């Protein structure tokens, strides 16, 4: 076995570039789809993509400002601790642990960021229909510190750390 560095220079920063000219700010989450790695930076509050064919790293979502703000232009969105992510043919689904949300980010430019499930209201248990806003209404699906995410291609599955739950989103 051999371990090699694909990208990054060891300096905690967010610099787009090729190979070791790029830098990451506490990369924590990673997912693969279609020869591309998607990386969540918990300290950079960004989502990055690494093209495995060219070794080019680009930021696709997150302004770098810690916050809670969806945006039709991914680079203008504000994220807070994107801790896990999974990709499908059209979107990334990103758990934002500190915001109690799952974001949906388009894999195509301009990488729009919208609320997929949850609400910015604190750690609560709720099952129900999700909404595309940050307010929680009774009967909406909510999360308490979502930490892990995967898909079977049909449903999304989420681990909920504080309430010891496995959630399914159809």
The pLDDT score that the predictor gives to residue 132 is: 45
- Which CATH number goes with the domain that contains 39? 2.120.10.30
Which has the higher per-residue pLDDT, 59 or 129? 59
Predicted TM-score of the model (pTM): 0.89
Strand order from edge to edge, sheet including 27-33? 17-18, 56-61, 46-51, 36-41, 27-33
Measured in degrees and rounded to the nearest 5, phi and psi for residue 106 equal -65, 135
pLDDT tens, residue by residue, 152-166 = 999 999 998 888 888
Residue 6 lies in a domain: no
Q: Does residue 10 belong to any structural domain of this protein?
A: no
**115 in a domain, yes or no?**
yes
pLDDT tens for 50-69 read 999 999 999 999 999 998 88
Count the domains in the chain: 1
pLDDT digits (tens, 9 = 90+) for 12-23: 999 999 999 999
Question: What value does the mean pLDDT take over residues 15-41?
Answer: 97
> Is 93 inside any structural domain?
yes
Which residues have CB under 8 Å from 135's CB, separation 6+? Answer: 119, 121
Structure tokens at 25: 């700010």
Find the length of the chain: 170
Quick check: is 8 in a domain?
Answer: no
Quick one: pLDDT at residue 75?
Answer: 96
Which value, to the nearest 10 degrees, does the dihedral of the CA atoms of residues 89, 93, 94, 95 take?
-150
7 is a domain residue = no
Tell me the two tokens of residue 92: 């990334």
When the pLDDT of each residue in the chain is averaged and rounded to a whole number, the result is: 88
Give the start-end residues of each E strand in the chain.
Answer: 17-18, 27-33, 36-41, 46-51, 56-61, 82-87, 91-96, 101-106, 113-118, 146-151, 156-160, 165-169
pLDDT band at 130 (very low <50, low <70, confident <90, very high): very low
For residue 70, give its domain range: 17-169
Query: What is the rounded (10 degree) CA torsion for 105, 94, 133, 140?
Result: 130
């Amino acid at each position: 076995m051999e371990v090699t560095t694909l990208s990054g220079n060891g300096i905690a920063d967010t610099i787009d570039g090729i190979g070791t000219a790029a830098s990451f700010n506490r990369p924590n989450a990673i997912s693969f789809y279609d020869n591309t790695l998607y990386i969540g930076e918990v300290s950079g509050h960004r989502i990055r993509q690494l093209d495995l064919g060219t070794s080019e790293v680009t930021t696709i979502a997150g302004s770098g400002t810690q916050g809670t703000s969806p945006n039709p232009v991914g680079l203008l969105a504000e994220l807070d601790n994107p801790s896990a992510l999974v990709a499908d043919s059209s979107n990334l689904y990103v758990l934002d642990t500190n915001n109690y949300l799952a974001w949906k980010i388009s894999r195509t430019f301009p990488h729009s960021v919208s609320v997929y499930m949850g609400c910015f209201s604190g750690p609560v248990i709720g099952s129900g229909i999700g909404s595309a806003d940050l307010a929680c209404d009774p009967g909406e699906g909510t999360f308490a510190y979502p930490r892990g995410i995967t898909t079977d291609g049909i449903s999304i599955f989420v681990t909920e750390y504080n309430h010891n739950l496995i959630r399914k989103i159809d």
